[in-house]
Structures are given as C-alpha cells and as structure tokens.
Structure 1
Amino acid sequence: MLKQLILENWKSFRYAELPLDPLTVVIGTNASGKSNMVEALEFLQRIGRGENIEAALAGDKTLSSIRGGVEWAALKPETKFTLNVLVNGKYTKADYLYTITVETKPHTQLLDESLTLIKHSLNKNEEPYIEKLFQTDNPSSNTPNITVHLYDTNIIKSQEFRRNRSILSQLIGLSMKMVEAINVVSQSLENIFILESIPSKIQNYSPLSDKLESDGSNIAGVLAALTEERKNEVELTLSHYIKYLPERDIKKVWAEPVGRLNTDAMLYCEEEWKPGEMRLIEAKIMSDGTLSFLAILTALLTQPEGSQIVIEEIDNRLHPSRAELLVRILREIGQKRKIDILLTTHNPALLDALGPEIVPFVIVAHRDSETGESKLTLLEDIDNFSKLFASYSLGDMTTKGAIERSLSRNE
C-alpha cells in the first residue's frame, strides 16, 4: 500500500510531500493544487500498468488526457518532472521507494527511474538498511533505449529497455527478491483508483464487466458480473447503507442482466413511497445524490483489497445532513477491506463529521503568494493551529478562511 507521494516539478508543484494514511483528507481553495495532486496518482497508476508514457499524459483512443496533457505536466519553465512514491512491502516488512523522472521537451520519454529497498531496524537509533534494486543510466535524450542496471544478489546486470514505458512494467524473469519488489510496487500503483462519478452515465445500461470505470458508469455491469455469492454479499451491503440516504426508504438495491443476450445490465432499487406501497425504480430516474453515493459504495466494495481509492470533492451532490453517514461508511468499509482512502472536500459539514481525531491526517493545499507554486502543509503544522482549533471547528476554519489567513502570514 502507498505510504507517501512526493511531487517534484509536477504541474503547479515545485516540491511537496503527501503522506498517505488509511483515511487522508486534503482541503484547500479552488485552484490550490488538489486536482493536480490527484492527477499525479492517476499518472502513476497508468504507467504502473504499462501504458505508454506520452499516452498516460496526453491520452489516446482508450485513455482520456490528464488536464493540460504533456504541455502542462512539468512546472513551467521546467521540461521534466519527478514523482516518488513510498510503498509498504508485503512480505519483507520493508518499504520500497519508487522514483520516475519524465522529460516533456523536446521529447516525451523516460529520463530516469529507480527502485530502492528500505529495511528499518527494530532499533530506532539505527539507520535503515538501503539497497538499490534497479537504476537507469544517464542516457542521451536522443536515444530510443535506456540502460538499466539491475542489482541482483550482489551482481550488477545491465540491460537495454525502451524509454516509452516505465521500466517497472517491462521487468520480468528476475530473482525472487526482485520479483517480490516489482510485484508489490506494480500492484500498489495499479490499485490506485480515481473515482469521479458522473450520475448521468450511471443511469444507462452498461455491459457486464469485472472492472469499475472511474466515472462509475458501469456500476450495474460490475455488480451483475459478480459470482452469485459475492453479488448477494455486495448488494446486501449496498442496501444496508443506502436506506439511510434518501427521504424515501430504499429497501433494496441490485443489478441484473437485461436483453436477449444478457450482456448488459441495469441498476434497480425498491423504494417504499408510503407505508405498504413499494415501487421499483430504475437507475434512469434515481437522483444524482443516490447514484453518487452508490458509486462510492461500489468502489469501496469491489476494488481489490489493498487499493488506494481517491475521491475528489466526495460530498458533491450529497446533502450535508448525510456527511456523518458517509464518514462512518468510509471508515467501516475501508478498515474491513484494508482499503486506503484519499479524499478532497470543501464541505464544512463533512469536515466536522470527521471529528478532531482526523486532524493529524488533514493536509492543506495552498498557493505560495510570491511564487504561485502549490504547496501541501499538514494542518497541525500551521504555526498557530492550536489557537485556531481552540476557536473554530474544522468546518468553521474552512468557511471563515482562517486557515488561508494563517498560511499567508507564515509565508
């Protein structure tokens, strides 16, 4: 699972560190850099599964472009960016530091990439054991290939790889130690899931599928394609939580195949409009809030365990009175399924529902008033945070602009 993301010359960031915990909350005003931060994780997810580096930024027939494409990927006037991600080891009880540097001009290609094993001693006073697993050579930017040094059981092997994809996605047939490292890091990147639900797309029929789309459009297809036992389990959980959302009582939510070939599916729910009167409702006429809520729930229940789920503006289309319910669901399902959640929000009701215990895991995205560069600051690292917290709730801090004023005075 991911432990930390470090951004260097990425979009609006000169340098920033984002710690990642089981539940991490990023707050900040519009244009503060929240979406740019999320897009760094999206880029890592794409190159982790082997996508072409240029396509991972600019999009292609199957991928949408990351905002700004190649042109705005690096902080201007820079022509390269670096992303570092710290990943928790699965078996070795160690961490892996994965680093990738991409050139955007004059070519869009890999410039540098490495993977390092970090083992921490039980004795806190001892320095961690650090071992390089692979490292690219410093190549000429005009060559299509790049040399990679593989450090395998004290033997250095050098091998040529293509520069249009990440080395991580090209490495195969290595020693057990290297296989474990590659698998753990690759899986952690592939299991990043960015949810930006679009209710109007969820309302349509969707093909059966084993992979949820980032816009939630194929919720019905994913649910209908589950094995019978798993489908019953997921739909019972959906029905359990969704009944607390609307004014009318939703008794049941499910999906089922439709059409002669049973290759598409539709999402349904059963509502009690008044005592004793039940109505069957298709997704086509469900509210946007209900569909957004179902998208969040479905992602939490169907993504692989160990995933990093990212939800931008999680409270969109949800009434503030449901904030406490949403927070409870995130915590319950996230903990049960070992899923880490990163969310961004402006909603003061949601922030207050998170409670004071969330404070160590709240990060503020903001812009430097002199340079215009985005920064990430832990909420409790703000100089006068104790005074702020004594005067305001977390929600009030955001609505009254107290956090931004404090950051501005600190610059």
Structure 2
Amino acid sequence: MTPRLAQLRLTEFKSFRNESVLRMGDMTVLIGRNSSGKSNALDGLEVLSRLATGADLVDALDSRRGDEGPLRGGIEGCPPHGADRFRLGCSVLSPDRTGNGYVVLHLDLTVKVRPEPEIVSETLSGASGKLRNTKDPTANILHNLLKTRQPAPGGGSIEATWYRGTRGRDRAASFRSTRLLTAQLPLRLAQDTEAERHVVQAAKDVVQTLQGVFHLDPVPHLMRQYVPGRDVRLRRTGENLSAVIGQMAERDPDQFAHLVGLVRDLVEHEVTGIDVIRSELNDVMLALREGRSVTPAREMSDGLLRFMAIATTLITRGRDVDLGGMPDHERPVTVVIEELENGLHPSQAGKALELVRRAVKDDGAQVLFTTHSPALLSGLSAEDHKSVIVCSRDRETQESTLTPLPELDGYPRLMAQGDLGSVVTAGLLGEERRDDFSEFDRLMGIG
C-alpha cells in the first residue's frame, strides 16, 4: 500500500471562507454549476502539490516555467476577496511500515501573501498506530510532529519545533518561511532517535503524496506535432502522447491492445490499429489505421486525442506521467481531470466512466474528476454516490461549500425522482428542500 490522499481542507482559499472538506476516496466525483468553486477547489490541491516540491512560494505559484505555468490567478489570487492570506490543509493515509509509525497524517498551513509571501503557520500532526505511555490520553491518538512559532514579520525565516518522543524534549530550529517546512524537515533532522525517524517518514509520506498529484489537462492541438521519441513521461498537456503510446506498444503489448480496443469502440468507422510514425531523427507521431488508409494525429479530432490521453493515463495507472523527476518505484499518483467527458458525445461518456472504474478497482489508482455530463452522472451507481461531492456557492455571500451528495437535505427524495443525471439536468440539486425520507423508506421497504 502506498500513501493516499484522504482529505483536502479549504479553510480560507479563494471562494472558500469557512473550512470546506473535499473527502477523497479511490474515485471522487466533483460536481456543481459553473462558477460554483470546483476549479477553486482543484487549485487548492494544486497549490499543495506545487509547494510539496520544495520550491519557493512565488516560483511555485507565479512562475511561467514548466508545463503547468502559473497558478490560475497566481499567488495573489489565493486569498479570499479582501484578505491577505490563505489557509489550506490535507490528510494522508499512510501505511504503518513498522507498527510504530503514523497511519493518518494532517498538514495545515497559512500563507500570507502581502507584503512579501511567506508561511506564517504550519503544523504536521499524525495519528499513531501505537499507544504510548503518556498522561494525556489525546497524545496517544494525535501527535504534533511539526509546529511553527510566531514568525518575525518579513524576516524570511520561521521557528518550528518537532516531536522527539514522549521522553524527549521537542527541538526547535529556524526554517525558511518561503518554502513548505514539511518538505524541509527530512534534511533538517539528525534522525538519531526512533521518534525523529518516524517524523521524517511522516513528512516524506505527505510530501510524496502531494507531489504525486497529476493534473491532466490535455490540449489536443499540442498533440498533433512530432515529438522526440525519448520523451516518454506524459506531460499534463498530453503534448508528448505519441511518444508515451509508442513506448507502451513496445513495453506492454497488453496495455497497448487495450488502448486500441478502446479507440475502436469509441469511433463509428473501422479502426484496425494504432501506428507510431517515426522520422529519421526518432521523432514520433500517432496515426490511426482505418482500413487501407492512415490518419495521422494532425488530422484526428480533438475529442479522440483527449480521450486517448485520458485512457493512456488511466490504463498505466499514472506510472508513465511526468511528476517532476519523482522515482518510479511505488509512486502514489492521484490523477485529476477536469470535465472528464469534454469532447465526447454523450453516448460515449459512459466509456470514460468505465475507464475510471477499472483503473480504481483493478489497478488501485486514485482519480478525482469533475463533470457536467448528465449521461455520465446517470451511469453512477448508488454506491458511487458516496464518492460524489457537490460544490455550491451562496448567492448572497459568494462563499463556496462542499457537501457529500448523500448528506444533502432531501437526498433520498431527490433520488426518488430519477437518476442523478436527470436530477441535475432538471436543476433540482441546488434547490432547498426539507428532509423527507418517506419516499426513500417506501423504496427500501421500510415501515
């Protein structure tokens, strides 16, 4: 088992002002109307992922270098309107490798963006799998592994303490306040005690899990060009898809055959195979074999190219994606896809959902996606509804909130009116309803 994200906490971030929690399972579906805050929630996850690389705050969120470019709105766009700081957090489920480590980890931080961006508060805490000899019973459950003290404004540094065990005294040291402290921690601790070694492992688990967030945002027009054949780590734009699929064809014929079958089922005309055209300089471009003709990537539709990028990511369980140089071995990867069905005909949306289901069930992937597709939502089972999070925005306060679908007022009554896709299409999901479980009881044979 590898560490996995369990929660994203949007305490004060963009349109979220009162802590909203995005619960994350193997498959998480984020739905809501336009401008409800879905992209803001994903931006929060993106912020934590970028900071986990150890980069400077400004470089991580404002830099135009790299595939991701600057964060939407940059660092100045992160605080809620009228505020000068933002607060985010996450929880990670971690395997207890020794029986004495931490199985649930919580990271929370506050970043002040003006006058100079810096972290003004950060805590890393962990729930241990081992009961410890302490007078405080809560200490048997949750330990403060890292905790900052009040910083000196604009000094570029912040003091923090870390846990050294129930018999040891917590140590303090100065950290750079322009970088995530949890990412700095493994290089700062001597690890001369078992407690410190567990703290370092906890920090590594959180950092690697956040680094493993892969936000896939395929840009079809970038996929229509020749790319170097050695460029085999899929970028978030999908621009080097041809090289990735070329490697798949050579390394794993079964996965490649699966991809060919998915493409064949997606299109109406006959597809007999996928080719990878190579130039004399080993540059490559995808092509479809359609009967006797060959269609290169530069002539393929946007929807087909986007689908192939998503399918390739999910078939490989994210093993072939570019995570900024992270090692391949046991990498925890969380694939994030906005508007999963984008570019697909409604009748094909179910194929994308089945791809996610298979990646989650058979391959152990973790996938978070947004969708507006009634057809896709209608394909969700009652069990899947536990994984659906509804994002909504108050018309008066303009604040966004996140609510698990089954916890919505009147959820049973809504579902009694039809499948989820029909309810969303009718605009019923955002309506205020009183709790009425009589129809649900009738359907379940209760009472």
Normalised TM-score (structure 1): 0.91
Residue 76 in structure 1 maps to residue 81 in structure 2: yes
Question: Superposed, which structure 2 residues align to 1:204-215 within 5 Å?
Answer: 204-207=225-228, 208-215=230-237
Which structure shows the bigger proportion of residues in strand conformation? 1
TM superposition shift of 1:407: 6.9
Aligned equivalent of 2:243, options 213, 217, 221: 221
Equivalent in the alignment of 1:130:
142
Task: Indicate the larger mover: 182-191 or 31-40.
Answer: 182-191
Q: Is the 8 A contact 1:57 1:69 kept in 2?
A: yes
Q: Is the 8 A contact 1:9 1:78 kept in 2?
A: no
1:234 and 2:255 aligned = yes
Distance 1:187 1:227, change over 3 A: farther
* Other-structure match for 1:308: 334
Corresponding position of 2:322:
none
Report the CA distance between 1:179 and its aligned residue: 2.9
Equivalence for 1:399: 425
Note closer, same or farther for the CA distance 1:320–1:227 as it changes in structure 2 (3 Å cut): closer
Structure 1, unpaired ranges of 5+: 272-276
1:392 Cα shift? Answer: 2.3
Matched, 1:5 2:8: yes
2:328 aligned residue: none
1:27-84: per-residue Cα shift (whole Å, max 9, x none)?
Answer: 1111000000111111111111122211222223335121211222100212111111
Which residue identity lines up with residue 390 of structure 2 in the other structure?
V
Residue 85 (structure 1) aligned with residue 90 (structure 2): yes
The CA distance in 2 between the partners of 1:407 and 1:283, in whole Å, is: 49
Give the SS at the match of 1:178: helix
1:265 matched to 2:268: no
Whole-angstrom distance in 2 between the partners of 1:209 and 1:51: 24
In structure 1, how many angstroms separate the alpha carbons of the residues matched to 2:169 and 2:362?
42
Q: Which structure 2 residues correspond to residues 76-115 of structure 1 after superposition, within 5 A? A: 76-90=81-95, 91=97, 92=101, 94-115=103-124
5+ residue gaps, structure 2, are: 132-136, 192-196, 320-330, 436-447
Q: Deviation digits for residues 162-217 of structure 1, max 9, x if unmatched?
A: 22211122223443312321221111101101111111111112233243211111
Number of residue-to-residue matches in the alignment? 399
Asked whether 1:331 is paired with 2:357, we answer yes
Which one of 396, 410, 419 corresponds to residue 384 of structure 1?
Answer: 410
How has the CA–CA distance of structure 1 residues 223 and 182 changed in structure 2, closer, same or farther, with 3 Å as cutoff?
A: farther
Indicate conservation of the 8 Å contact 1:32/1:367, yes or no. Answer: yes
Residue 336 (structure 1) shift: 2.5
8 Å Cα contact 2:248-2:256 kept in structure 1: no
CA contact (8 A) 2:10 2:21 kept: yes
> In angstroms, what is the RMSD of aligned CA positions?
2.3
Q: Show the counterpart of 2:324.
A: none
1:249-284 deviation digits (Å, cap 9, x = unpaired) = 33323546x33332x32122222xxxxx33222111
Question: Among 204, 208, 212, which residue is 1:183 paired with?
Answer: 204
1:196 correspondence with 2:204: no
Q: Distance in 2 between matches of 1:10 and 1:407?
A: 28
Q: Distance in 1 between the 2:434 and 2:52 partners?
A: 37
Alpha carbons of structure 1 residues 164 and 391: separation in structure 2 relative to 1, 3 Å: same
Secondary structure of the residue aligned to 1:186 is helix
The alpha-carbon deviation at position 234 of structure 1 amounts to: 3.3
Q: 1:254 to 1:188 in 2, by over 3 A?
A: farther
| Percentage identity across paired residues of the two chains | 32
Q: Which moved more, 1:216-225 or 1:2-11?
A: 216-225
Structure 1 residue ranges, 4+ long, deviating more than 6 angstroms after superposition = none
Q: What amino acid sits opposite 2:289 in the alignment?
A: E
Cα distance in 2, alignment partners of residues 249 and 407 from structure 1: 49
Q: Match for 1:40 among 41, 44, 51?
A: 44
Q: Deviations over 1:291-336 (max 9, x none)?
A: 1111111222342353111111111100111122221111112222
Matched residue of 2:88: which SS? strand
State the SS of the aligned residue for 1:363: strand
1:279 is aligned to 2:287: no
Give CA deviations for 1:89-125 in whole Å, capped at 9, x if unaligned.
1234711111121111121111122211113689xxx
Indicate yes or no: 2:22 matched with 1:18.
yes
Report the CA distance shift for 1:198/1:407 in structure 2 as closer, same or farther (over 3 A). farther
Query: Secondary structure in 2 aligned to 1:170?
Result: helix
> Which amino acid in 2 is paired with 1:143?
G
Whether the 8 Å CA contact 1:45–1:189 is kept in 2: the answer is yes
Instruction: Please state whether the residue corresponding to 2:20 is helix, strand or coil.
Output: strand
